[in-house]
């Protein structure tokens, strides 16, 4: 009788404490927390309520020669449209007014030759540009400040001495794709340090059976997907064939792992012809159809959202995806959907909503911004740029509502001072 009562208690305990459908579990594996999410979001599916608030057509200005462009946006609304293959960067203020070109083509200080992998970013109250294995700094008025040789092609800057790079190496066993963190040495005679944050073999392309040819696409090609959250100093990375995302700090340590059940989308021969139409049309390229995987990747992209949230573009069908949203703890909280007429393919998310590129009827690209009026726990559509406040300080750096500045006393001695910022609204 006692054994039967004990057995009933154990079964009851398992039912009460075991895994529950629709709940998030934290499982420790080899000392690392794995956030095991349910198949459906905790707070449901949300269609975004958006409003277009800005559009910039760069081709209205004769000075602009952009053949295409990428974009960056600063918190004060300044936008730079740039061509990463032809060394051109054009500046626009928050009202969409043209401010002029940032860089000149050449070999001199602050100049860049025609070079692939040219990039610009807003960092520490300045504009930074990189390319031709160097970086240059400009102030917010576009005036050149300084440059330095760095010997790398940064993908994402962490600070002026630290950045993430993508590199491919080859050894006897094949190709190795790496995402590494580079820290430049202050001593020019010493080598910079590199920490591998993630590496994987034989990804980044689909290879023919004889190994003589290969190609890549965004739906079936195995590869590394990653994103860096500048504000929270978190690095998200994973192999796109698995729904498993590693969250790391800048030491390369795993903070936790985000996981979610996923069933891969299978593809037929008809699907493959739709995905790689050039292979179906050219008999000499038909090898690509047989080389194409029978299932698509799991994750098409990873993007940073405001307030520590993360967007994962989950492949849901042939050339279709859904956007899963995870909170700062790695919990699957939403699936977000744009209005029917909009795409989230090429967006960058900001506190107010998102910016993107759109093609007009004349086939010219324009830069557009949309505020997101719902999801207040992630987006603040009422956030507006109010004013520029001039400060009589040098080398400003703003972090977590504190302002750091270098000041000189009457005798010319410099000191670093920290100010706490208190915002007061006038009634």
pLDDT of residue 415: 73
Do 388 and 141 form a contact (C-beta atoms < 8 A)? no
Residue pointed to by tokens 């559009």? 55
Mean of the pLDDT values across residues 339-362? 93
Structure confidence by residue, pLDDT tens digits, 386-407:
445 555 555 456 555 566 777 7
Q: Does residue 228 carry a pLDDT above 50?
A: yes
Range 24-372: architecture per CATH: 6 Propeller (2.120)
Give 149-208 pLDDT, tens digit per residue. Answer: 999 999 999 999 999 999 998 888 888 999 999 999 877 667 889 999 999 999 999 998
Distance between CA atoms of residues 335 and 323, nearest Å:
6
- Residue with the bigger pLDDT between 210 and 346: it is 346
pLDDT at 392: 56
* Interior/surface letters 216-237, b for 16+ CB within 10 angstroms, e for the rest: eebbbbbbbbbbbbeeeebbbb
pLDDT at residue 22 is higher than 80 = no
> Number of C-alpha atoms within 13 angstroms, CB side, residue 253?
7
Q: Which of 118-132, 348-362, 406-420 has the lowest mean pLDDT?
A: 406-420
pLDDT band with cut points at 50, 70 and 90 for residue 360: confident
The whole-angstrom separation of Cα 37 and Cα 32 is 16
- Average pLDDT of span 352-379: 93
Using pLDDT thresholds of 50, 70 and 90, give the confidence band for residue 5.
Answer: very low
Cα separation of 176 and 203, whole Å?
Answer: 8
The per-residue pLDDT of the chain, averaged, comes to 88
Q: What are the structure tokens assigned to 84, written together?
A: 């990463």
Taken in order 307, 312, 316, 321, the sign of the CA dihedral is positive
Where do the domains of the chain lie? Answer: 24-372, 389-427
Whole-angstrom Cα distance, residue 332 to residue 43? Answer: 8
Can you give the pLDDT at residue 15?
Answer: 37
Burial 314-349 (b: 16+ CB within 10 A, else e): bbeebeebbbbbbbeebbbbbbbebeeebebeebeb
Q: What pLDDT does 21 receive?
A: 62
Task: Calculate mean pLDDT across residues 104-114.
Answer: 90
- Lowest average pLDDT, out of 253-257, 299-303, 380-384, 396-400, goes to 396-400
pLDDT at residue 363 in the model: 80
The answer to whether the beta carbons of residues 25 and 36 sit under 8 Å apart is yes
Query: How far apart are the C-alpha atoms of 239 and 300, rounded to whole Å?
Result: 10
- Give the residue-averaged pLDDT of 56-83: 95
- The residues pairing with 157 across neighbouring beta strands, listed in sequence order, are 163
Check if the beta carbon of residue 93 is closer than 8 Å to that of residue 99: yes
Percentage of the chain exceeding pLDDT 70: 86
Mean pLDDT over 225-245 rounds to 97
Report the SS3 class of residue 261.
coil
Position 14 pLDDT exceeds 60 = no
Sequence-distant (6+) residues with CB within 8 A of 167 are 177, 178, 180
- List C-alpha distances in Å: 108 to 65, 84, 104, 129, 299: 21, 19, 9, 14, 42
pLDDT at 400: 53
Over 50: is that where the pLDDT of 265 sits? yes
pLDDT at residue 120 tops 70: yes
Has residue 418 got a pLDDT over 70? yes
Strand order in the sheet with 162-171: 156-159, 162-171, 174-183, 193-201
Task: Dump strand ranges (E) for 154-233.
Answer: 156-159, 162-171, 174-183, 193-201, 206-207, 214-215, 224-229
Higher pLDDT: 10 or 65? It is: 65
Average pLDDT over residues 275-304: 95
Residue 385 pLDDT exceeds 70:
no
Instruction: Tell me what pLDDT residue 170 has.
Output: 84
What's residue 364's pLDDT? 87
End-to-end distance of the chain based on CA atoms, in angstroms?
76
Alpha carbon of residue 233 to chain centroid = 13
| Residue 325 to residue 334: CA distance in whole angstroms | 5
State the pLDDT at residue 396.
Answer: 56
User: Which pLDDT score, from 0 to 100, does residue 3 have?
Assistant: 42
Give residue 422's pLDDT: 61
Does 12 have pLDDT greater than 60? no
- In angstroms, the CA 158 to CA 294 distance is 38
Q: Which two tokens stand for residue 69?
A: 């462009």
Share of the chain above pLDDT 90, in %: 73
Rounded distance, CA 323 to CA 302, Å? 9
Say what the pLDDT of residue 114 is.
82
Q: Confidence band (pLDDT; 50, 70, 90) for 209?
A: confident
Instruction: Enter the tokens of residue 325.
Output: 């949203």
Measure the CA–CA gap between 322 and 229, rounded to whole angstroms.
Answer: 21
């Amino acid at each position: 009788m006692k054994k039967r009562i004990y057995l009933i208690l154990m079964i009851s305990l398992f039912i009460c404490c075991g895994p529950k459908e629709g709940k998030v579990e934290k499982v420790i594996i080899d000392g690392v927390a794995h956030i095991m999410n349910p198949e459906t979001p905790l707070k449901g599916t949300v269609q975004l309520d958006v409003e277009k608030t800005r559009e910039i057509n760069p081709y209205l200005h004769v000075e602009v020669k952009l053949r295409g462009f990428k974009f960056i946006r600063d918190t004060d609304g300044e936008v730079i449209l740039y061509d990463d293959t032809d060394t051109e960067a054009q500046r626009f203020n928050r009202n969409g007014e043209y401010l002029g070109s940032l860089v000149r083509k050449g070999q001199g200080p602050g100049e860049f030759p025609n070079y692939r992998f040219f990039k610009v970013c807003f960092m520490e109250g300045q504009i930074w540009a990189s390319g031709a294995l160097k970086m240059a700094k400009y102030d917010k008025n576009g005036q050149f400040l300084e440059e330095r040789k760095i010997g790398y092609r940064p993908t994402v800057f962490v600070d002026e001495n630290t950045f993430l790079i993508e590199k491919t190496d080859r050894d006897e066993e094949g190709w190795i794709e790496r995402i590494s963190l580079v820290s430049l040495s202050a001593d020019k005679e010493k080598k910079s340090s590199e920490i591998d944050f993630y590496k994987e073999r034989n990804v980044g392309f689909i290879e023919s059976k004889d190994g003589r040819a290969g190609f890549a696409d965004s739906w079936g090609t195995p590869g590394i997907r990653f994103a860096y959250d500048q504000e929270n100093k978190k690095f998200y990375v994973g192999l796109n064939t698995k729904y498993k995302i590693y969250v790391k700090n800048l030491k390369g340590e795993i903070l936790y792992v985000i996981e979610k059940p996923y069933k891969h989308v299978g593809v037929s021969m008809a699907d493959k012809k739709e995905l790689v139409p050039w292979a179906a049309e050219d008999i000499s390229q038909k090898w690509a159809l047989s080389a194409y995987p029978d299932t698509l990747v799991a994750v098409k992209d990873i993007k940073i959202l405001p307030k520590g949230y993360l967007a994962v573009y989950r492949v849901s069908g042939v050339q279709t995806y859904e956007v899963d949203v995870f909170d700062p703890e790695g919990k699957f909280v939403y699936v977000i959907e744009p209005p029917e007429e909009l795409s989230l393919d090429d967006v960058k998310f900001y506190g107010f909503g998102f910016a993107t590129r759109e093609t007009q009827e004349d086939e010219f690209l324009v830069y557009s911004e949309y505020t997101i009026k719902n999801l207040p726990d992630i987006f603040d559509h009422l956030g507006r740029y109010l004013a520029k406040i001039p400060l009589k300080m040098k080398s400003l750096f703003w972090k977590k509502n504190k302002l750091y500045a270098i000041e000189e006393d009457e005798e010319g001695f410099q000191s670093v001072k920290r100010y706490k910022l208190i915002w007061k609204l006038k009634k």
